Amino acid sequence: MTLNATHDARLRSWVDAANLPGTDFPIQNLPHGVFRRAGSAEAFRGGVAIGDQILDMRQALAAEVFPAGLRAAAEAAAQPTLNALMALGPAAWSALRAGLSAVLREGAPEAGRLAGCLVPQAQAEHAVPAAIGDYTDFFTSRAHMLNMGRMFQPTQPALPQFSWLPIGYHGRSSSIEVSGAGLPRPWGQYRRPGQAEPVFAPTCKLDYELELGAYVGPGNERGQPVPLAEAESHLFGVCLLNDWSARDVQGWESLPLGPFLAKNFLTTVSPWIVTLEALAPFRCPLAREAGDPPGGPNLAEGGGASRSGLDLTLEVWLATAASQGQAFRISHSSSRHAHWGLAQMLAHHTENGCNLRPGDLLGTGTQSGPRQGEQGCLMELGHNGQRPVALGNGETRTTLEDGDTVILRAWGVREGFARIGFGDCRGTVLPARER
Amino acid sequence: MTLNATHDARLRSWVDAANLPGTDFPIQNLPHGVFRRAGSAEAFRGGVAIGDQILDMRQALAAEVFPAGLRAAAEAAAQPTLNALMALGPAAWSALRAGLSAVLREGAPEAGRLAGCLVPQAQAEHAVPAAIGDYTDFFTSRAHMLNMGRMFQPTQPALPQFSWLPIGYHGRSSSIEVSGAGLPRPWGQYRRPGQAEPVFAPTCKLDYELELGAYVGPGNERGQPVPLAEAESHLFGVCLLNDWSARDVQGWESLPLGPFLAKNFLTTVSPWIVTLEALAPFRCPLAREAGDPPGGPNLAEGGGASRSGLDLTLEVWLATAASQGQAFRISHSSSRHAHWGLAQMLAHHTENGCNLRPGDLLGTGTQSGPRQGEQGCLMELGHNGQRPVALGNGETRTTLEDGDTVILRAWGVREGFARIGFGDCRGTVLPARER
C-alpha cells in the first residue's frame, strides 16, 4: 500500500472540524461506516466520517458529485451494509478515496452541493457496517501469550506454535454489535475456587479484550489459497474490536476445543472502518525477537510481504457507575508489538483452501505490549486479581463491575503525516438478567 | 414432539417408490431440501423428497394444491434457501407436514395435478439448504471423548466438564457444502513425528467425522436465553454432517484455542433435512452411566426436556480409487450413545445470551459408540494408525487416501413405524493442489 496524494498532510477540508489538530477524522482518513439519524426510522446507509460530520453517501450520489467512473464504488459505499464495496477490491477503494478526497478538499467546487449532505456525528447512530459471514479471532501478541501463560501454565508459558503461525479460532458472527451495545452480565457455568462441581450463575470475572479487527475484501474460492504477497489486496480496512470475555466460564469450558460461551455473548466493533490505504503511513515491521523462528514457510516477512505491522497507539478507558461520566485511562499500548500482521492472518487462514467472503471479520487478538500498563485486558493488567487496577477516583478493578463502561481508542501519528483516528468503541456492563 | 396421523405406518403414497420397504423417503418422512435439475442453469428451489422423487415446491404452489392457511409455509419451503421456513416455527412446520402428507397420500385428489411437479432424485443436484449464519460443533459422544483421550491424554482421558455441559466450539460457515463436494487434500502446517519444527505440506492424516447436524428454527434475541423446555421449538430438523479433519494440523495448532485450519477447509452436509417431527418415533433417553453428574443446573433431563436422545442407526461406508465403485461399510453405530441431545446443545448455546438465527447449524460432534466398529472417525477406528482398518478388498486404511469416497448414512427403525432415512452424505478426496 503506497503513499499518494490523499496522504498529503497539507490537505485541508471545507468541513472545518476536519482541520482541527486532535480530530480522528481529517481529510486524510475518510473511514467508511453505516448510519442513520439517531432514534429515527430512517434506513441505514453508508457514510464517510469527515471531522465531526458524516458525508451521507446516498445524498452525495443524488448530488451527482462523483464522476461516472466512481459511481459503482460510491453506490456500494452508500448501501446499508458495505459488503459490495468490500468485494470491489483495492483499485476501486483507492479510486473512491481519491474522489472523496477531491470533493471534500478546501476549495472543491462540489462543496456547495455537498454541504447539505452532511449529518453531524453527534446526531447519528450506527449499525455493524457489514453483514459478517464468519468472524475469526487470532492470537498475535507475544506479551498477551506470555502474560496469560505465566498465570495459567507457569512451567511453559510460551505456546510452541506461536512463532510459527498466527493461532486463530472461529468466533460468533451473530453477536457482533456496533459500539454502544449494552452488555447484560452473562450467566454461565463455571467452578468457584476450590470447588469441584460447577455452578450456573452470572459471571464473576467479566473482562474486555482490546483488539483491532479487519474486514475482508474480495475473498477467495474454496480450495484457492491467497498467497501472502496478495493478502493485502483482500483487506478492506481496520476497526476497533472488544472481545468481551467471561474468564470463569472460559477456564471451565475451553479445553480442548477453545473458548465458546465465554466469548460469544457479545463482540463490539467500532462504527468506522479505516481503510488500509489510510493507514499506509503507519506501517512497520512485525515485532521479532532474537531467536524467533522465521515463521511458517509461507508466512515469513519478506516472503511476499514486508512492513506487515501497524504502529497505532491503543488505549483503554474505563468509566464507572460512580465516576459520574469521567473515564480513566487504564491501559495504553501499540499494535506494533504484534508478532503477526493482518496479511499473515489472512494468508494463513486460506492456506488450507478455506474460503473467505467479503465482509468477513478477522480479529487480531488482545493487543498487549511487554510493559506494565500495556496489557490489553483486565485479567493481565491486574495479574489475575493479584494487583487491582487503580482508577483515578479511588476505585480499583480486578474484573468489570455492573455499570462500567469500557472505551477503546486507537490512532496513528507519524512526523509529516496527519493524525488518523478510529473513533470510540464502547460498551457498558448491565446487571445480569433475573432467571 | 408428539406422534400424530402423519406418522401412521399404514400410510401409502401415490408415488410408488415411497412405498418400497427400504426407501429412505416414505410418506412418513417428507424431508426438505433445495435442488435443481443437474447441470442446468435453473434456479435452486425448495423440494420435498418422496420415494425416488422430489416434489418441486415451486411447481406445487403453482398447481394450487395447498389450502390458504398453508400457502405462507409452502412458499417458504419453495425458496432457494429454507431460512424463512425455519423462522416460521413448529406450528407452521407441522401444518405443512400434515398438508404434504395429505396431498401425497394414495388416493389424494391432488395426485393428478402434482404428478407433473415431481423431479426424479437421480436427475437433481442440490445446494446447502440454508444460508448458514453461524455453525457450531459440539462434543456429545462419551466414547469419542474416551477414545481420543486414551490416545492423547492417557492419564486423564475424560474431560472434567464433559458430563456437566455439551462442550462446543464455533466452526466455519463459509466452507459448508452439500453432499458431493470434492475435497482437494488440504495443505497445512504440522510437525512430522519426532521433529521439533513444523513443515508446510499436504496433510498426511486426513479423516472424516460422522455427525448429525441440526438447523435452528426461529432463534432468539441477544440476551434472551432459550430455556431447555422451549429448546425443541427452535429445532427445525436434522441432517448428516461430515466434519472432515486434518489430524496432523489439528495436533499442532489446536491448543489453547481449539481446531481451526484442521477443520475449516470443508464441512459436508446431506441435501435433506429430516424434520424433528418426522423423527418423533425414534426419541430415546440420553445415554447416562452410573455416577454421572446430573449435568448443569439448567441442562438436566427432566428439567424441561425428556427423551432428548435420538435412536438412529449411523453408518460410514468407504469406496476407494481401486474398489471400482464398490463401497465397504467400515463403521456402524447409533446416535443413542450421545450424552447430550439437540435440546441441551441449543439451550446451552443460548444460556449466556448468545443469539441464534434461523438456519444456524449445530453439529453433534463425532457419534461414536462404545464398542469396536462403532467409532465415528478413522483415527478412533484405527486406533491412531495402530490397527489399520480392513476394507473388503484387501486394502486397509489408517487415514484417508486420494480417491477415497466417504459416505455417511443414517436411518431410524422402530417396530410399528415406517423406516425414516436421511439419504447419503458423500465426499471424495482429491489430490492436493500443486503449489
Within 8 A of A353 by CB-CB distance, chain B residues are 184, 186-187, 265-266, 433
| Angle, CA of B263, B269 and B273, to the nearest 5° | 145
Give the torsion sign (CA, B21, B26, B32, B38): positive
The DSSP 8-state label assigned to residue B309 in this structure reads E
Taking CA–CA distances from A187, the nearest residue in chain B reads B352
Taking CA–CA distances from A256, the nearest residue in chain B reads B258
Residue B328, chain A, CB below 8 Å: the answer is: no
Within 8 A of A297 by CB-CB distance, chain B residues are 199-200
List residues bridging with A428 in a β-sheet. Answer: A405
Q: Does domain A135-430 have CATH number 3.90.1640.30?
A: no
Residue type, A188: G
Largest alpha-carbon pair distance within chain A? Answer: 72
Q: Please state, in angstroms and rounded to a whole number, the distance separating the CA atoms of residues A224 and A33.
A: 30
Do B261 and A189 count as a contact with CB atoms less than 8 A apart? no
Q: Please state, in angstroms and rounded to a whole number, the distance separating the CA atoms of residues A269 and A244.
A: 11
| A131 pLDDT higher than 60 | yes
Inter-chain Cβ pairs, chain A and chain B, closer than 8 A: 182
β pairing state of A135-139 and A361-363: parallel
- Return the CATH superfamily for domain B135-310+333-372: Fumarylacetoacetase-like, C-terminal domain (3.90.850.10)
Do A169 and B169 count as a contact with CB atoms less than 8 A apart? yes
Residue A360, chain B, CB below 8 Å: the answer is: yes
| A406 pLDDT higher than 80 | yes
Q: Please state, in angstroms and rounded to a whole number, the distance separating the CA atoms of residues A193 and A191.
A: 6
Do residues A175 and B170 touch, judged by C-beta distance below 8 A? no
Query: Which residues 21-40 in chain B show a CB within 8 A of chain A?
Result: none
Report pLDDT for B304.
Answer: 59
Report pLDDT for A257.
Answer: 93
Do A255 and B159 count as a contact with CB atoms less than 8 A apart? yes
Report pLDDT for A304.
Answer: 59
Among B414, B391, B389, B409, smallest CA distance to B399 is for: B389
Do B174 and A354 count as a contact with CB atoms less than 8 A apart? yes
Which of A223, A261, A355 is closest, CB to CB, to B352? A261
Within 8 A of A170 by CB-CB distance, chain B residues are 169-172, 260, 264
Report pLDDT for B373.
Answer: 96
pLDDT band at B302 (very low <50, low <70, confident <90, very high): low
Do A297 and B199 count as a contact with CB atoms less than 8 A apart? yes
> Cα-atom radius of gyration of chain B, to the nearest Å?
21
Q: Please state, in angstroms and rounded to a whole number, the distance separating the CA atoms of residues B365 and B367.
A: 6
Residue B306, chain A, CB below 8 Å: the answer is: no
Do B261 and A293 count as a contact with CB atoms less than 8 A apart? no
Residue B247, chain A, CB below 8 Å: the answer is: no
Q: What average pLDDT does the structure give for chain B?
A: 96
Residue type, A353: G
Do A264 and B169 count as a contact with CB atoms less than 8 A apart? no
Nearest CA to CA, how far is B54 from chain A (Å)? 29
Which of A169, A246, A351 is closest, CB to CB, to B257? A169
Report pLDDT for B2.
Answer: 85
> Could you report the per-residue pLDDT of A248-273, keeping only the tens digit for each?
999 999 989 999 999 999 999 999 99
Do residues A368 and A380 touch, judged by C-beta distance below 8 A? yes
Residue type, B170: H
pLDDT band at B1 (very low <50, low <70, confident <90, very high): low
Q: What's the full length of chain A, in residues?
A: 435
> Could you report the per-residue pLDDT of A216-237, keeping only the tens digit for each?
999 999 999 999 999 999 999 9
| B151 pLDDT higher than 60 | yes
Report pLDDT for A302.
Answer: 67
Report pLDDT for A295.
Answer: 85
Q: Please state, in angstroms and rounded to a whole number, the distance separating the CA atoms of residues B117 and B156.
A: 57
CB atoms within 10 A of CB A20: 11
Helix (H, G, I), strand (E, B) or coil at A91: helix
Which of B134, B174, B199 is closest, CB to CB, to A172? B134
Nearest CA to CA, how far is A431 from chain B (Å)? 12
Q: Which residues of B are catalytic?
A: 144
List residues bridging with B430 in a β-sheet. Answer: B184
Residue B207, chain A, CB below 8 Å: the answer is: no
Among A169, A203, A210, smallest CA distance to A427 is for: A210
pLDDT band at B316 (very low <50, low <70, confident <90, very high): very high
Residue A417, chain B, CB below 8 Å: the answer is: no
Report pLDDT for B55.
Answer: 98
Out of A127-131, B153-157, B312-316, least confident range: B153-157
Q: Please state, in angstroms and rounded to a whole number, the distance separating the CA atoms of residues B195 and A331.
A: 40
pLDDT band at B388 (very low <50, low <70, confident <90, very high): very high
> Could you report the per-residue pLDDT of A136-176, keeping only the tens digit for each?
999 999 999 999 999 888 888 899 999 999 999 999 999 99
Q: Residue B89 has which C-alpha cell?
A: 416455527
> Could you report the per-residue pLDDT of B73-104, keeping only the tens digit for each?
999 999 999 999 999 999 999 999 999 999 99
β pairing state of A210-216 and A187-190: unpaired
| B303 pLDDT higher than 60 | no
> Could you report the per-residue pLDDT of A418-430, keeping only the tens digit for each?
999 999 999 999 9
Within 8 A of B187 by CB-CB distance, chain A residues are 225, 351-353
| A306 pLDDT higher than 70 | yes
Query: Which residues 249-268 in chain A show a CB within 8 A of chain B?
Result: 249, 252-261, 264-266
* E strands, A145-198, in order: 167-170, 176-178, 183-184, 187-190
Nearest CA to CA, how far is A3 from chain B (Å)? 32
Report pLDDT for B263.
Answer: 98
Residue A353, chain B, CB below 8 Å: the answer is: yes
Query: Which residues 54-83 in chain B show a CB within 8 A of chain A?
Result: none
Taking CA–CA distances from A200, the nearest residue in chain B reads B297
Do B256 and A159 count as a contact with CB atoms less than 8 A apart? yes
Nearest CA to CA, how far is B355 from chain A (Å)? 6
Q: Determine which one of A126, A144, A234, A348 is catalytic.
A: A144
* E strands, B250-343, in order: 267-269, 274-275, 283-284, 309-310, 313-319, 327-334
Higher pLDDT, A301 or B41: B41
Which of A197, A249, A258 is closest, CB to CB, to B257? A258
Q: What proportion of chain B, given as a percentage, has pLDDT over 90?
A: 92
**B277 Rama class: left (phi>0) / alpha (psi -120 to 50) / beta:** alpha
Among A239, A229, A185, smallest CA distance to A402 is for: A185
Q: Give a three-class secondary structure readout of A249-296.
A: HHHHHCCCCCCCCCCCCCEEECCCEEECCCCHHHEECCCCCCCCCCCC
Which of B249, B257, B354 is closest, CB to CB, to A172? B354
Count Cα neighbours of B153 within 13 Å in the Cβ-side half-sphere.
12
Grid cell 485486558 — which residue? Answer: A377
| B272 pLDDT higher than 80 | yes
Query: Which residues 165-204 in chain A show a CB within 8 A of chain B?
Result: 165, 167-175, 177, 184, 186-189, 197-200
- Give the residue from B83, B128, B134 with the most A CB atoms within 10 Å of its CB, the best one to mutate: B134
* E strands, A59-185, in order: 118-120, 124-126, 135-139, 167-170, 176-178, 183-184
Report pLDDT for B154.
Answer: 84
How big, in percent rounded to 5, are the helix, strand and coil portions of chain A? 20, 25, 50
- Give the residue from A138, A257, A355, A366 with the most B CB atoms within 10 Å of its CB, the best one to mutate: A257
Break chain A into its structural domains and give their ranges: 5-126, 135-430
ipTM metric: 0.96
| A303 pLDDT higher than 60 | no
Q: Does domain A5-126 have CATH number 3.90.280.10?
A: no
